[in-house]
Homo-oligomer: A and B are copies of this chain.
């Protein structure tokens, strides 16, 4: 669902990926990574969608919390598996959210 993030500034990590055909271990690892990320200091939320292209946007308080999550041990193992097995290609963009707004329709 749409992440409930605080007022900017904060950070977004935009992970865009095309999968290989290899699914071994993927779903369990993806679920675990979402759970572990949510326990990290500075984690603000995550949004995900996939139809062919997969897009995961995670939100973080600052660059330090992004660096700590990148270095987290289980995440390091998943990153290695991702390159070896699950992803044909991916792009990661780290961006500072400067402004944000939203809309919810009247009932």
Q: Identify the A interface with B (CB < 8 A).
A: 1-3, 5, 8, 11-12, 14, 16-18, 20, 47-55, 57, 83, 87-105
One complex includes copies of this chain to the number of 2
Interface secondary structure of A, over-half rule: strand
- The chain B residue sitting closest to A93, CB to CB, is B100
8 additional A-B pairs beyond A2-B90, A12-B14, A50-B51, beta carbons within 8 Å, are A12-B12, A20-B105, A49-B55, A55-B55, A91-B100, A91-B102, A94-B100, A95-B95
Residues B50 and A49 in contact, CB atoms below 8 Å apart: yes
Residues A93 and B104 in contact, CB atoms below 8 Å apart: no
| B-side contacts of A55, CB under 8 Å | 47-49, 55, 57
